[in-house]
A and B are shown apart, each in its own frame.
Chain A
């Protein structure tokens, strides 16, 4: 075997192996006691191992063990804790099954489950016991179980061939592959026969029967070989897996890929099993392809097809459905697309047939691909030679066909003498040719035959007899009949194909509509709504949607837009699907008594939710409907994932923004605090130093430094405190009558030092009414604005404060004739910590933000703009409520 490119395992394989290892860590371990048939001692050995474990203080319970009244086995069961079986009733019979829920709630370390291939009684959660075991493993419990080789799916028909007894209960081979340990219980056939004779396997009466039928030495030897070979193959696989994970150079997974075509015929079953065995032996992956033609399937055929596909899936195939009239063509096409190296086709059953068998067609077209012809059982269903498009027609259609033909014949009768009987045939032929536009194939054939007969009886001389005299008439009659049949059949077939194409188109439209609706849904609720609307529309089903919440926790109820009410039982099914991420409900193998089928929506980190679908007509969906529905579910899941990722991104952006703000604040504050502190420290140190303290001028300067720096720090602290009050929304303006002039003049007076280098004029009319404001807050706002003006204008600039009022609001403007605001700074000027780039240090960028906060606390507005004549301007508007003005007149 040539290794792939390079000698390194490809990342996918390694990832797969790693994932398996991870899964293994949390799941329970499965040990299978494997034997060739009943009586070899599997249960006995299992119990002995269990006792060993029990002796080592491992918590072991007996889930279910069948002792078959064998004394030695019964003795061993006695010593271990047993979980009582669940008793159910079905059709008057009392049945007992393993109590799965009791075991799960008990949470032992190890559970003993006998007879893995058992089918559970109706009403149990799962239809098969091996599914119960899988659930136990998922819940972290280890399991010991027993299995015979005849119960393996891939070997079931071989065993049937050898022993003549059909196998009814099977488990998929994946269970064996998944098992952590497989212990073969092997005894020579002679030994087994001796045991049988001693009555240690079955009771003496049954032994005789058993020996005759099943327990023949030839059989036993063959079975023994099968089971030993299986075990050897498994060891081989394990070795290869081991080598892969340890990156030991060696033959890697072969690049062989098998493709097998499956159909609705029962013959596919053996073909599938054969493909599985071959794939396992060649260590290859395999694909099962179903080619959908325009040929409609009967209900039983549909059911068989579903079974076949399920079987193939269980055995590990990748399922591909495709549509094509030419099956061979489709198989080869898919094989090439999927890079399959071999195609498996069943051998034809009839040696003589009118057309080339599928096998021949495939061989013809296979080109470089290998084709394997696989024989099957002789008793496969016969294939029809002629393709009859079977659109089922009711009795009404037959009646209509007959009726129309008769009517036309009747209409022609009066004129037949004039036009001649040959022309009549053309008219009738036309009728038959047009009938398939409305009627099915059966009625069309009927009409062909009927019209031929009518023509013969009524029109061909001698009239009113069926006999035909002239040779040419015979020829015409025969030809007529042939043409009628062929035309009718062809037209019917065209109609059928047209129908198929239309339905495929509908499917594509359905998927498109769903995708479109999902892509515009702005949030999770809308996604749910879109999902429900589309599923309802295209499948005619009632839908319930369950969404897990933001943190991935399980849902507590169905989404309100769901169209059917979910009772407690159904909710339980939905919850099960959520936890196990597997399909369950009606028409499935798990919890089949539910009224709807529940599909899991899986996300990358945790399950996104569950969709429950209840078909209106109580029929199962066809294969292609099922495929489409699963596509739908996948789309919806991926949209939900998108929504969640959006949420995460939003939150992450918000936190990035917060982080940025924090950094800006920190840097700014850090600088603003340190600078004046540095000045104070150094100046005061200078004053303490006796050398400098002698000089009065120096002392005075240093004192001034300290004073200035201290004032600056004070202003900074006040600003920060104001900012904090604003941020925590604790600003409640204490509204009271105020004289605006008073407020402005107080602010101006407070800033007399900073404003000393500027000329400040206040223009407020004397008849300015009183306004209800919070004096302190507005005074601080004006202070900040004036301070800002003084900082950013050169000394000697003019600052003007003006105010005016009308009935609704009063407006205060603070303007200067300095350089004004830079254009790009204007929109951001009120932002916290924003400082116009390039300005000298000395402010935190909080003053304007605080001014705005205080103004807005009054329900006022503030804006900054540049004067037309140059310079900056702040405009504050404050609302005046009715009756809140008081004139100054008395």
Chain B
């Protein structure tokens, strides 16, 4: 792509907007700023960004309402910004259609990684090659899973879980989402399943199951399959 990817930042705090602009532009993105929900929605329809970074704590409108409004006419990835202790807000936002989240204060490395992931996500679904992260490689079409080039046997449930992660690699997945996707909507509250099965995946696929580097727990929210370069 010859054009720089466009990022829309919706945040009422001028310092956050400035910081995000500096970081993103340094990483090669074109940044548009909005300081309120209303302005953000206007900009979104005018500027046609490829990623939206949305602050949940907007003064004029509830961030989740803005998110829902965006989701009414587009599926572009939305990253939400929030504070550490409002995990339930983050889960609500993710369940309402957000793709990923960042807590303030955020590391610029994380920010850029999430943005990259958000953009890449669209590419991955388009292509369908083997997915590689760290010592793990997964071929979704052939249903082959390898760790350090050795084939690993997975149960059907374990594989469903893994493929869900691979298809959403780098993105956070809430417990509810995982349960609904892998086990079905009736299992939406049975978080013990995710715990157990993630444990299994880690045992089989991580180098050090006690210190996982691929299947990361996002405390209070869900899990993320980290993309290691």
Contact = CB atoms under 8 A, between A and B. Distances in A.
A766 B204 CA distance: 13
A736 interface: yes
Interface string B209-221: 1111000110110
Contacts of A734: 88, 220
A737 B84 CA distance: 21
Contacts of A58: none
A739 B87 contact: no
Given A736-B191, A737-B195, A775-B220, A762 B87 contact: no
Most B CB within 10 A of own CB, among A725, A766, A774, A775: A775
Contacts, number: 59
Interface in B177-218: 191-192, 195-196, 198-199, 203, 209-212, 216-217
A378 B210 CA distance: 117
A742 interface: yes
A269 B217 CA distance: 101
Nearest to A801: B210
Contact of B219 (A718, A748, A779): A779
A592 B82 CA distance: 78
Interface in A741-776: 741-746, 748-749, 762, 764, 766, 770, 774-776
Interface in A871-888: 886, 888
B211 A739 contact: no
Contacts of A743: 217, 219
Interface string A96-138: 0000000000000000000000000000000000000000000
Nearest to B196: A888
B191 A776 contact: no
A737 B210 contact: no
A748 B219 CA distance: 13
Contact of B191 (A737, A741, A774): A737
B199 A739 contact: yes
B85 A770 contact: no
Given A745-B210, A748-B211, A886 B191 contact: no
Contacts of B219: 743, 746, 775-776, 779
A886 B210 contact: no
A725 B195 contact: no
A886 B211 contact: no
Contacts of B217: 742-743, 745-746, 775
Given A745-B212, A748-B211, A764-B210, A888 B85 contact: no
Interface in B72-111: 84-85, 87-88, 105
A770 B210 contact: no
A762 B199 contact: no
A628 interface: no
B195 A742 contact: yes
A738 interface: yes
B192 A770 contact: yes
Given A718-B84, A779-B219, A738 B195 contact: yes
Interface string B30-70: 00000000000000000000000000000000000000000
Most A CB within 10 A of own CB, among B192, B198, B212: B192
Contacts of B212: 745
A890 B196 contact: yes
A725 B196 contact: no
A4 to B, nearest CB: 76
A349 to B, nearest CB: 99
Interface residues of A, number: 30
A800 B224 CA distance: 27
A788 interface: no
B225 to A, nearest CB: 15
Nearest to B157: A890
A741 B192 CA distance: 14
Contacts of A779: 219
Nearest to B199: A739
B220 A770 contact: no
- The SS class assigned to the A binding surface is helix
A646 interface: no
Nearest to B83: A721
Contacts of B87: 776
With most chain B CB atoms within 10 A of its CB, the pick from A710, A734, A743, A746 is A746
Contacts of A737: 191-192, 195
Contact of B199 (A721, A736, A888): A888
A578 B87 CA distance: 61
Contacts of A718: 84
A178 interface: no
A745 B196 CA distance: 16
Contacts of B196: 739, 770, 886, 888, 890
A436 to B, nearest CB: 94
Contact of A776 (B211, B216, B220): B220
A714 interface: yes
Nearest to A714: B105
Given A725-B85, A741-B210, A764-B210, A886 B192 contact: yes
Contacts of B192: 737, 770, 886
Nearest to B220: A776
Contacts of A766: 203
Nearest to A888: B196
Given A734-B220, A779-B219, A745 B195 contact: no
Contact of B195 (A721, A739, A744): A739
Nearest to A761: B210
Contacts of A774: 220
Interface in A770-791: 770, 774-776, 779
Tell me which of B198, B210, B216 has the highest count of chain A C-beta atoms within 10 A of its own C-beta. B210
A497 B203 CA distance: 102
A708 to B, nearest CB: 14
Contacts of A776: 85, 87, 219-220
B211 A770 contact: no
A546 to B, nearest CB: 53
Contacts of B199: 739, 741-742, 888
A775 B223 CA distance: 13
Contacts of A748: 211
Contacts of A725: 85
A694 to B, nearest CB: 20
Contacts of A886: 192, 196
Interface string A696-730: 00000000000000100010001001100100000
Interface hub of A742, A743, A776 (most chain B Cβ within 10 A): A742
B188 to A, nearest CB: 13
A738 to B, nearest CB: 7
B85 A721 contact: yes
Given A776-B87, A776-B220, A762 B210 contact: yes
Contacts of A739: 195-196, 198-199
B165 to A, nearest CB: 16
Contacts of A714: 105
A749 B212 CA distance: 9
Interface string A317-350: 0000000000000000000000000000000000
The 8 closest A-B pairs by CB, nearest first: A737-B192, A776-B220, A775-B219, A776-B219, A779-B219, A739-B195, A762-B210, A886-B192
Given A739-B198, A739-B199, A745-B212, 14 more contacts: A718-B84, A722-B85, A734-B88, A737-B192, A737-B195, A741-B209, A743-B217, A745-B210, A762-B211, A766-B203, A770-B192, A775-B217, A776-B85, A888-B196
Interface of B: 84-85, 87-88, 105, 175, 191-192, 195-196, 198-199, 203, 209-212, 216-217, 219-220
Interface of A: 710, 714, 718, 721-722, 725, 734, 736-739, 741-746, 748-749, 762, 764, 766, 770, 774-776, 779, 886, 888, 890
24 contacts: A718-B84, A736-B191, A737-B192, A738-B195, A739-B198, A739-B199, A741-B210, A742-B195, A742-B198, A743-B217, A745-B210, A745-B211, A745-B212, A746-B216, A762-B211, A766-B203, A770-B192, A775-B219, A776-B87, A776-B220, A779-B219, A886-B192, A888-B199, A890-B196
